Amino acid sequence: FANVWGVWENNDYPILKALAQADLEITLSYDPYPWINVDTMFNFGVTIVNHGPDATIGMDVNLILPTECNYTSWFGDEPTVEGRYVNWTCEALQSGESLLLGVSVWVIDFAPTITWNATVENTVGDPGTYPNFCSITAPVNGKPEANPYYTTTNEDTLLYVATAPGLMQNCDDPDGDPLLVWTSFCQWLTDQGATAEFYFNGSFTYDPRGVAVFEALQVGESILDNFTFTIIDDKGGLNISYVQVTVQGVNDAPAITTANVTSATLGALYSVDYNATDPESDILDWALSTNATWLSINNTTGVLSGTPGDPDAGTYWVNVSVSDGNGGTDWTNFTLTTNNPNVPPTISTPNEENAIVGTPYSVDYNANDPDGDTLTWALDTDASWLGINPATGVLSGTPLLVHEGTFSVNVSVSDGHGGSDFTMFTLTVVNNNHAPVITTTAILTATVGTLYSVDYSATDADSDTLTWSLQTNASWLSIVGTTGVLSGTPTAAGTFWVNVSVNDGMGGLDYTNFTITVSAAPAANHAPVITTTALPNATVGIPYFFNLTGTDADLDDLSWSIIWWGGSWLTISQDGYLSGTPTVAGIIGINVILSDGNGGNDTMGFNLTVNSAAVVTDTDGDGVPDTEDAFPTDPAASVDADNDGLPDAWNPGYTADDSTTGLVLDPDPTTPQDLGDDDQGPNNTWLFILIILVIVSVIAGVALALRSKGPKPLVEEEPSQEPPVENTQQ
């Protein structure tokens, strides 16, 4: 009935079909959970579940936002938004399926709690087992109150507020939650360029020292500097405020920057122009304190000067000081020594006016100084290759071929006290150098992928040290400067120009120009492959032969050889034949290599098992091993000259026959005879039988005669009832 009714419902009489039923359930959720913070965004989710039994044709979902929230965005399906009202019109939802809809909202106002309401309306029948309405209420965390922190410091003082709450002393939380400084979200570099450092409990440091804008402050001047900080409570509520520091200018002392001059010469003016820096650019005043009565200082310019007379020879203490008029001062103390007038030095070394290309030129200049002053030498010349040691006066250098010609030279010496001497001359450079000569022939061809290498050589009559260099458009090519090895591996075919040159460091030069033609690389070689996988066993004392096998895709001529093996009796031919006679049993390792002559090879390792020699036993010594001898203890039994299956010892000239005639004479015991039932053999067989019968008759007659003459037995034996035994052996 149910089947028939279903057919009527779905096909013939659809009006009889029952109405669709979709039992919908709506639930709400939000994230982050559980606290919602003012001035933050959070996500609000609406979940619809169809508990069936049928699918919905369509449905409407409505969400009402609280007045403390503003809609910002959506996820899932896009809704229609009108103020606080959010609506989704959805397509069919199958039985057992669920749908997640959601919006992101911004909390703009504080309330202890906020509530959201949502409904779902089904276009088909809803049994109502699950709720179509849902409401959710969330607690709201009050936003911390962050207020500015004000303080004052001097431009040259590090400010350290070490006691909590520090910069949070003006901050509060409406819920009474504990507050911390969120150090990761604080301004560590202030607006004016100072540095700040923060701690969780509100303590902080502020360092204005060394900041130019603060150092320029005059006494009584100040400037404001700000930097922000962030506070956070234990529910995630946060707020931002700032610290404002009033930085006051203080006086910065001037600093003398001029070095003292500690010696003076009798009869000569002594003068030092002292200078100092002052951050505030104050007007500076110079002062002098000394026991040198001949010395004075200009209070405005700082020039310390005076001329000691002959009576002023000796040493004096000197104090030069400077002040900025605001309490800042600086000073320098030193001892000043006055000396007799200086006597200049005199150069005593003659000039050397000729030099040779490639040959070191050197002149050790000397000078006399009556005062024993430390002398300093100097050189002024257009000879770039020439130099002088300022301490020793050694003038030296090596001219090259390009330096051939004349140069002006001025050598001077000074004693550090104004005394000096000099000598001027013209230096002529002549060329006696021999250029090197390249002796190597260039190689003009190369192959892609193959190393190209030429070891260049050159001769030099002067045995100079040679240096090689290269010019080329072949980026793959290089040369070793000290050895002349030109090498490289080309990567592409083509032609390349090359210039290889050599110089002797003395101006001598030689070179060679040529073109290298690079051809394409030949087809790639395929390495051979050894196909033998194992070696057969060998036996001690028995010659061993085995042919190894291998293949080569290029059909190259292959060659075999042994890389290593653990014995000495085995050899291998180029064709891969292993041969030899083992002398010791055991397992021996052997490694072989198969080469194709073009760089390709294959290697293989084998274990060769050598068995012990078999023990051969021949008990009767007839040359037939016991394992093959039917009569191992009878040497004669092993001989069967006529190969008729009976040893000659058992068949002396006879052959057994199955005929009724019995024994047949074998005319030739060395030749097999076919003696069948009808074969009586040749005539001598009957003769042999006749002789045997005669012999038997004679023996029988003799036996009877002897018996008739002997004594009679006491008891006559009864004749035996057993038949005579046939002599089958005969």
In CATH, what number is assigned to the domain containing residue 385?
Answer: 2.60.40.10
Task: Give Cα separations from 697 to 369, 702, 720, 726 (angstroms).
Answer: 165, 9, 22, 18
Residues of the chain scoring pLDDT < 70? 1-18, 635-687, 702-730
Residue 441 CA, distance from chain mean position: 43
Domain match, 486 and 578 both: no
Q: CA 92 to CA 596: how far, in whole Å?
A: 75
Residue 676 lies in a domain: no
Q: CA 151 to CA 201: how far, in whole Å?
A: 18
Domain match, 443 and 381 both: no
pLDDT at 660: 42
Specify the CATH number for the domain of residue 164. 2.60.40
Domain match, 294 and 372 both: no
pTM of the model: 0.39
Domain match, 261 and 230 both: no
pLDDT at 697: 79
Residue 724 lies in a domain: no
Residue 659 lies in a domain: no
Domain match, 39 and 92 both: yes
Domain count, the chain: 6
- Residue 93's domain comprises 2-141
Residue 640 lies in a domain: no
Domain match, 506 and 562 both: no
Q: CA 356 to CA 558: how far, in whole Å?
A: 65
Domain match, 97 and 24 both: yes
pLDDT at 642: 64
Q: What is the CA radius of gyration of the chain?
A: 63
Domain match, 487 and 418 both: no
Specify the CATH number for the domain of residue 119. 2.60.40.1510
Domain match, 126 and 153 both: no
Domain match, 155 and 238 both: yes
Domain match, 333 and 244 both: no
Residue 524 lies in a domain: no
Q: Last residue of some domain: 460, 486, 519?
A: 519
Residue 700 lies in a domain: no
Q: Last residue of some domain: 591, 611, 631?
A: 611
Residue 80 lies in a domain: yes
Q: Is 707 exposed, middle or buried (0-12, 13-18, 19+ CB in 10 A)?
A: exposed
Residue type, 622: D
Domain match, 10 and 90 both: yes
Cβ contacts of 418-422, under 8 Å, gap ≥ 24:
418/342, 418/344, 419/342, 419/343, 419/344, 419/345, 419/369, 419/371, 419/373, 420/344, 420/345, 421/344, 421/345, 421/346, 421/347, 421/367, 422/347
pLDDT at 508: 85
Q: What share of the chain is helix, strand, coil (3-state, %, to 5)?
A: 10, 40, 50
Q: Last residue of some domain: 407, 430, 453?
A: 430
Residues 155-179 pLDDT 10s: 989 999 998 899 899 999 988 999 9
| Cα atoms found within 13 Å of the Cα of residue 535, Cβ hemisphere only | 26
Residue 304 lies in a domain: yes
